[in-house]
């Protein structure tokens, strides 16, 4: 399977619907053939990944995870992800932590987590997404 086949669905996890909308626009500007889904908190994201009620939707290859959210924040999501998501699914998912936080501890905690592949500061841009996709999927984007 080549990298392009691996990147078929991106899950945006952020309680700010405007951010999810804007990030969708940035991803679409890259002219990649990917599905973009969104979740408003970590609980929705875990349910999406585990397929609860989402059987017709694909497993996300990339998860853009905000830290500060109600119901289940990014760190609570990571704890649930580690405990509930089977390894065969984890092996297919790249998690990028996305936050406005400039908290040094958050960045160190993200780097130390084996399931978090990257850490990016908000606000994101099309250039940010282009760099992340190229880095983790070795794809040339327009």
Q: Which of 10-14, 22-26, 44-48, 97-101 has the lowest mean pLDDT?
A: 97-101
As a whole number, mean pLDDT of residues 67-93 equals 95
**Taking the CB of residue 13, how many other CB atoms lie within 10 A of it?**
29
Q: Is residue 112 part of a domain?
A: yes
> Could you report the per-residue pLDDT of 20-79, keeping only the tens digit for each?
999 999 999 888 888 999 999 999 999 999 986 566 668 899 999 999 999 999 999 999
Residue 66's beta-bridge partner residues?
Answer: 98
**pLDDT of the residue at 2:** 38
Q: Is residue 24 part of a domain?
A: yes
Q: Is residue 66 part of a domain?
A: yes
Q: What is the phi/psi pair of residue 123, to 5°?
A: -80, 145
Model pTM above 0.85: yes
Range of the domain at 50: 3-137
Q: Is residue 142 part of a domain?
A: no
Residues near 54 by beta carbon (within 8 Å), at least 6 away in sequence? 47, 48
- Calculated CA dihedral for residues 98, 78, 12, 54, nearest 10 degrees: 180
CATH of the domain at 44: 3.40.50.2300
Cα atoms in the 13 Å half-sphere on the side-chain side of 133 = 29
Q: Is residue 133 part of a domain?
A: yes
CB of 54 closer than 8 Å to CB of 47: yes
Domains identified in the chain, total number = 1
Q: Is residue 104 part of a domain?
A: yes
């Amino acid at each position: 399977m080549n990298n392009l086949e691996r990147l078929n669905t991106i899950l945006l996890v952020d309680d700010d619907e405007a951010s999810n909308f804007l990030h969708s626009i940035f991803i679409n500007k890259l002219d990649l053939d990917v599905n973009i889904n969104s979740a408003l908190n970590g609980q929705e994201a875990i349910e999406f990944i585990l397929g609860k009620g989402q059987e017709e939707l694909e497993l996300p290859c990339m998860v853009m995870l905000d830290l500060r959210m109600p119901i289940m924040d990014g760190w609570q999501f990571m704890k649930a992800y580690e405990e509930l998501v089977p390894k065969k699914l984890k092996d297919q998912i790249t998690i990028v932590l996305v936050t406005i936080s400039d908290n040094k501890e958050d960045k160190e905690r993200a780097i130390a987590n084996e399931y978090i592949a990257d850490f990016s500061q908000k606000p994101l841009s099309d250039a940010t997404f282009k760099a992340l996709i190229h880095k983790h999927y070795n794809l040339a984007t327009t």
